[in-house]
Amino acid sequence: MPTTKRDYYEILGIAKSATEDEIKRAYRGLAMKHHPDRVEAAHKKEAEEKFKEISEAYAVLSDKEKRSVYDQYGHRGFDQRYSTEDIFRNADFSSIFEDLGFGGSVFEDLFGAAMGGGGRTRRGGQRGADLEYELSLTFEEAAKGVTKHITIPRRELCPECRGEGGERTTCSTCQGAGQIRQSAGFMVIARTCPRCGGAGSQLKKACPKCRGEGRQEVERKIEVSVPAGVESGMRLRLGGEGEAGVRGRGDLYVLMHVTPHPVFARSGSDLVLEYPVNIAQAALGAELDLPTMNGKVSMKVPPGTQSGTVFRVRGKGLPDVRHGRAGDLLVRVVVETPTNLSGAQRRLVEDLGRQLGDEAHPARRSLLGKIQQLWKK
């Protein structure tokens, strides 16, 4: 069974209302305590696991966008949107480590794969770039889910040279490591090799097919399974469908654009319907036939319904994209005042108004009473 992740705030020992400075201060203290270079060899493995845990928590909570997603959806929803590479991408550790006097080698050994660096590098030792595609959906497609086939341009490894760019030779400066390491006391500081730029090798003879680039522009057809209940602004991550790199492909993010519906508005997984009724229906009650995304349903409007009253029809909304449960249909009843009355209709309304008086309008009677009290003062 998979291990349940601890809460990021609990890991750093801070409140959910913590400021950026408080998050950074908490991580600095924990990093000083658990850095693998500062513990005895017998406890090094334990320290490495703890150090990875607190660093992941800091990488998420120090980023406003990632923190917002985590606060809203928790680990389950967050992990569906962000890969390990996403979590550590652009995280600011260097300034903290410089202040504490740590070298980068241990951090790169623990997180190198996630951050696209560290360890023994190869040419272009980077993960491929992420791509974004904007996908337009009808309201019905978003409501029910749909499979779309899209075509995206992306760069892939050259099949001729397999991404190497041609014939290569080992870098004489770093001996293929891609880094120059220097010792400073108990610390080991690693710097990118200035000769090969971290590639570990140098191009000797360029590939004639890609001219030394190692990658080529192609178009690929990709199948996208859109889950039911998506809405505009949501992003669907397709792992490994981005551009190619020596350390693996990037991801493809599909951004959803849903066209408005001519009848329904939307509030999360709820559908909102504004339904006009006439005075007689509001006063005497009525049974209305309402549209839904799956046929029609009936709803009774009780006598004396006021304009603006909202009725809830359970389970007739849209599926929630996270757990699949259907939202509700919210029906806002609007009493429509008649216009373009004929002479006979006008006389009937006038007669009705005289007969109703204020007794049939308690809200109006209450307001007029309060006004009269104001005038007496």
- Each residue of 298-319: pLDDT tens digit? 999 999 999 999 999 999 999 9
**Spatial CA neighbour of 132 closest among 13, 7, 235:** 235
Q: Say how far apart CA 75 and CA 148 lie, in whole Å.
A: 28
CA atoms of 355 and 352, how far apart (whole Å): 5
User: Is 42 contained in some domain?
Assistant: yes
Residue 164 pLDDT > 80, yes or no? no
- The parent domain of residue 72 ranges over 1-115
| SS3 per residue for 171-221 | CCCCCCCCEEEEEECCEEEEEECCCCCCCCEEEEEECCCCCCCCEEEEEEE
Give the chain's domain count. Answer: 2
In a domain, 290, yes or no: yes
Task: Tell me whether residue 295 is in a domain.
Answer: yes
Q: Please report the pLDDT score of residue 365 as a whole number.
A: 78
DSSP string covering 221-272: EEEEEEPTT--TT-EEEETT-S---TT----EEEEEEEPPPSS-EEETTEEE
Please indicate, yes or no, if residue 314 is contained in any of the structural domains: yes
Residue 33 lies in a domain: yes
pLDDT at 104 over 60: no
Q: Is residue 44 part of a domain?
A: yes
The domain that holds 62 is classified in CATH as: 1.10.287.110
* Single residue among 94, 115, 136 that ends a domain in this structure: 115
Q: Which residues contact 299 (CB under 8 A, 6 or more apart)?
A: 287, 288, 290, 311, 313, 331
We report the CATH number of the domain holding residue 276 as 2.60.260.20
Residue 184 lies in a domain: no
Average pLDDT over residues 112-122: 40
> Is 118's pLDDT higher than 70?
no
Q: How far apart are the first and last CA of the chain?
A: 75
pLDDT tens digit sequence for 26-77: 998 898 888 776 667 677 788 888 888 998 999 899 988 889 888 888 887 7
Q: Is the pLDDT of residue 170 over 60?
A: yes
Taking residues 7-20, report their average pLDDT: 93
Domain-terminating residue out of 65, 90, 115? 115
φ/ψ of residue 34, rounded to 5: -110, 5
Distance of alpha carbon 101 from alpha carbon 95, whole angstroms: 10
List the structure tokens of 352.
């009705």
Cβ-Cβ contacts under 8 Å for 261 (sequence gap 6 or more): 139
Helix (H/G/I), strand (E/B), else coil: 298:
strand
CB count within 10 Å of CB 278 equals 12
The predicted-structure confidence for 320-352, as pLDDT tens digits, reads as follows 988 888 999 999 999 999 889 999 999 998 888
Is 152 within a domain?
A: no
Nearby residues of 73 by Cβ (< 8 Å), 6 or more positions away: 80, 81, 322
Is pLDDT above 50 for 120? Answer: no
Q: Which of 115, 138, 160 is the last residue of a domain?
A: 115
Measure Cα distances from 370 to 357, 358, 360, 365, 375 in Å: 18, 14, 18, 9, 9
